[in-house]
Amino acid sequence: MTQDKKSETVVPEKKSVQLPVNLPLEFIPLYDWWKTNGSQFMIQAAIVVILVGSVIGGKYYYKSSIAAANKELLKASTTEELEVLANNYSKWQVGNTALLRLAKSYYDAGKYEDSLAKYDICVSKGKPAGFVEVAVMGRAMCFEALGQLPEAKTAYVEFEKANPTHFLVMQAQMGQARVLTLQGKKDEAKKLLELLKAGKNSEPMAEMAIAQLQGVIARYEPRKDILLTDTSIAPVAVPATAPAKPEAK
């Protein structure tokens, strides 16, 4: 007869875990967890530290880049420098400010079409915040300089209606007077300036600016190509040419 042998269950022996010497009893569960999961925890912690560090580093780089760009903007004094800033930082706030300054630089250089194009971009972006009205006024002045008088008058009138308390509203009213003069309506322009001057009787600088424009308008003749935005223009008397002395024989 064959004897049935009972299968013996093999039970793996537990390996004794060597505890650190002088380990307090309350730390034994923590020690066991560390032996089991400690390495995974360290990896996850390292990843978190790297991610947080990259975010902080990115913010620092962004802030330092903005600071450097602002310094460049403050130092920029030529059209070429402003063009570089406007292109390099087109998506940043400093780029929008550079664009506004670039439009003014083009205007000062007599490049009115280029100036108008840059002012249009500023208006469409609505930036820099708080300076959009400056771009709107710049567009109106470009229209005037280009001889597009109906567009200029509309722009000045709309600016005055939309911004009755803006610090540039007087410039819009003076712009209307200039356009009326260029359209051959000097009487209307004079009345407009008289009303404007009466409302500025307690502001010496404003009165002076209005008086200067009144003088330019009074001297203006349609046959003369005078840009009325330049209040420094005044007629210059040309001295009669002295007869040439006969040459000594």
**Would the pLDDT of 249 be above 70?**
no
* 120-178 residue pLDDT tens: 999 998 867 778 899 999 999 999 999 999 999 999 999 999 999 999 999 999 999 99
Domain membership of residue 123 as a residue range: 70-146
pTM of this structure: 0.62
- Is the pLDDT at 5 greater than 90? The verdict is no
130 and 153 together in one domain: no
How many domains in the chain?
2
Q: Mark whether 206 and 137 lie in a shared domain.
A: no
Residue 202 sits in the same domain as residue 137: no
Spell out the residues 6+ positions from residue 101 whose beta carbon is closer than 8 angstroms to its own: 73, 76, 82
**How much is the pLDDT for 239?**
40
pLDDT tens digits for range 23-81: 555 555 555 555 565 555 555 555 555 544 544 444 444 456 666 656 766 677 788 98
HSE-CB of 185 using CA atoms within 13 angstroms: 13
Question: Could you tell me if 172 and 216 lie in one domain?
Answer: yes
**What is the three-state SS of 6-53?**
CCCCCCCCCCCCCCCCCCCHHHHHHHHHHHHHHHHHHHHHHHHHHHHH
